[in-house]
Amino acid sequence: MEDRAREIESIIKRWDEHAERYDEWYKTFHGAVEHYVDWELLKGHLPQDKDVKILDAAGGTGRITLHLAKMGYSVTLCDISPGMLNVARRKLLKARVLDKVKICECDVRELRFADESFDFVLCWDGMAEAAKELIRVTKKGGTVSIFLVNRYGVAIRKFSEDAISALALLRSKLSHVSDEGEKYKAFNVEEATEFFKKEGVKVIEIYAVCGMLDLLSIPKEIQESRSWDTKFFDQVTEMLLRLSKEPSVKGLSKHLVLYGKRI
Ligand SMILES: C[S@@+](CC[C@H](N)C(=O)[O-])C[C@H]1O[C@@H](n2cnc3c(N)ncnc32)[C@H](O)[C@@H]1O
């Protein structure tokens, strides 16, 4: 318990310190591409009915909540970092959609919502450990969208600095990866499908997201640039959207995003 309290304290400190800078990366070519791909994939799974209740768990500065609220959905945005939530509140206020959003400071592993409170639950932070809680608050027949760490994709990127851990990940001898002091469970597509099936979720689709731009060998100056040619942007995003669905490349991304129905 004490360990968890210390862990939470360090997570809050890390994200509070990062809060004012978090959205800056999404203004670069690389960030804008990643955001576009995430959003396009999500759009295809959103309910038609705008009266549904959506939870954006670990939703940070409201990157996704803002779009959902602008579309007319009612959203509950929760996060453990007051700093990230402050940025979100400011953006929602500026966009005049704060009334569509309930903001809640809490740990995704201990959500303060009743069972089956939401029709659609998003958690885009690789937290498989929170899966039980996220599923508990999803209505039967509702949808979950969860980011997971891609075991193969991380092993490929880790190899040059730590070959032993990379191989342990590939051999399934290592089930978690560490990133800036936080530990995440890693999956391949089959493991993710199996894991969520046991938790009562039928997988609809798993896409490869994040880090796929590496595959296109786009120069660093373009990736970091804050202005770009829209035709090139469209070409890149079409490549990545098509690749995100292609089974033969799903092992290569940093994350997998799983969409599933609670049964
Ligand atoms: C990479 S950001 C993602 C934010 C948002 N989901 C997005 O896609 O832009 C990770 C977020 O997870 C939050 N977070 C980390 N651990 C958490 C926890 N246990 N409970 C709630 N939020 C958490 C952080 O505060 C941070 O805002």
Residue nearest to atom 10 of ligand 1 (CA): 125
pLDDT at 154: 94
What mean pLDDT comes out for the span 135-150? Answer: 97
pLDDT at 1: 59
Tokens representing 179 are 């990133």
pTM of the predicted protein model = 0.96
CATH number at residue 118: 3.40.50.150
Taking 80 as the threshold, does the pLDDT of residue 182 lie above it? Answer: no
Q: What are phi and psi of 182, to 5 degrees?
A: -105, 145
Work out the angle at residue 135's Cα, subtended by the Cα atoms of residues 105 and 110, and round it to the nearest 5 degrees. Answer: 35
Taking 70 as the threshold, does the pLDDT of residue 66 lie above it? Answer: yes
Taking 70 as the threshold, does the pLDDT of residue 34 lie above it? Answer: yes
What is the count of structural domains for the chain?
1
Taking 90 as the threshold, does the pLDDT of residue 3 lie above it? Answer: no
Q: CB 52: neighbour CB atoms within 10 A?
A: 17
Domain that includes residue 248, residue range: 2-262
By percentage, how much of the chain surpasses pLDDT 90?
Answer: 89
For ligand 1, residues with CB inside 6 Å are: 11, 15, 58-60, 63, 79-81, 84, 107-109, 124-125
| Tens digits of residue pLDDT in 14-31 | 999 999 999 999 999 999
Query: Are 94 and 117 within 8 A, CB to CB?
Result: no
For tokens 């804050």, what's the residue?
226
Taking 80 as the threshold, does the pLDDT of residue 180 lie above it? Answer: no
Q: Which atom of ligand 1 is nearest to the CA of 63?
A: 9
Going by C-alpha positions, the residue among 185, 194, 210, 177 that lies closest to residue 260 is: 194
Q: HSE (CB half, 13 Å, CA atoms) of 57?
A: 30
Residue 106 burial class via C-beta count within 10 angstroms: exposed 0-12, middle 13-18, buried 19 and up = middle
